[in-house]
């Protein structure tokens, strides 16, 4: 049976208490954190630079509108990551308390619920995060299948063939089924493959090659 614990937390400016340390009442010792403080700074570190580049390269509008879009994207990304981590760790702790320890299925269930609640809304930020995770999941399953012996280990490096097929497929989609691609990818590829067909002056090469309708 799990030993009883009491949670010690930090009082936030909002009045909320985030549990940060568990104390075992049976032995008096402390245990590692189950619910960490949400760390939106991680989301800010990875979202702010991306939003800055994409907004100034591909979005129109005033400087104020662009800065507002960057701040909104950074806030949404950071908030969602913080909510998801808190939900996942909370559900893992709950399952551990109910069953005495954690099982592999617990991680899957906790993340499924967190993903549904936090990332279930189909918007630009969530879409980018899910696609980011999808590509890494496919790579991880490929490695796991080899590790477990479900498929034989390749005798040659499959990465060059993978790169060729992915680039061939994505450019075919861009040229003939562009609407199926994610909007930010469309913008990037339009900038690289369409706007580069028009030359105005040296600023196209050094700064930004706008399309003929923009200059």
Quick one: 64 exposed, middle or buried, by C-beta within 10 A (0-12, 13-18, 19+)?
A: exposed
Cα(82)–Cα(87) distance, rounded to whole angstroms? Answer: 9
pLDDT of residue 125: 86
Task: Return the H-helix or E-strand segment holding 30.
Answer: strand 30-31
pLDDT of residue 8: 39
Cα(88)–Cα(97) distance, rounded to whole angstroms? Answer: 14
CA dihedral 109, 113, 91, 119 (to 10 degrees): 130
pLDDT of residue 88: 96
Residue 14 CA, chain-centre distance (Å), reads 27
Q: What is the pLDDT along the chain (215 residues), one digit of tens a residue?
A: 444 443 334 434 433 434 444 444 333 333 344 444 555 555 556 555 655 555 555 566 777 777 777 777 778 888 898 899 999 999 999 999 999 999 999 999 999 999 999 999 998 889 988 998 999 999 999 999 999 999 999 999 999 999 999 999 999 999 999 999 988 889 889 888 887 777 777 666 665 666 545 54
When computed from its CA atoms, the radius of gyration of the chain, rounded to whole angstroms, is: 24
Taken in order 201, 203, 206, 210, the sign of the CA dihedral is negative
pLDDT of residue 214: 53
92, 106 in Cβ contact below 8 A? yes
């Amino acid at each position: 049976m799990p030993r009883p614990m009491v949670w010690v937390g930090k009082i936030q400016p909002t009045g909320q208490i985030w549990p940060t340390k568990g104390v075992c009442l049976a032995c008096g010792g402390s245990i590692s954190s189950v619910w960490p403080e949400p760390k939106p700074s991680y989301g800010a570190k990875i979202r702010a630079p991306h939003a800055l580049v994409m907004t100034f390269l591909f979005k129109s509008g005033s400087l104020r509108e662009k800065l507002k879009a960057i701040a909104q994207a950074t806030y949404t990304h950071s908030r969602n990551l913080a909510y998801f981590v808190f939900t996942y760790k909370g559900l893992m702790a709950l399952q551990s308390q109910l069953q005495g320890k954690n099982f592999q299925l617990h991680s899957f269930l906790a993340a499924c619920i967190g993903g549904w609640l936090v990332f279930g809304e189909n918007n630009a930020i969530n879409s980018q995060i899910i696609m980011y995770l999808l590509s890494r999941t496919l790579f991880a399953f490929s490695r796991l299948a080899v590790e477990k012996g479900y498929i034989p280990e390749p005798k040659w490096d499959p990465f060059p063939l993978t790169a060729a097929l992915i680039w061939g497929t994505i450019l075919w989609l861009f040229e003939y089924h562009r609407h199926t691609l994610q909007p930010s990818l469309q913008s990037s590829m339009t900038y690289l493959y369409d706007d580069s067909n028009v030359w105005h002056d040296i600023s196209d090469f050094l700064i930004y090659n706008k399309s003929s309708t923009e200059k």
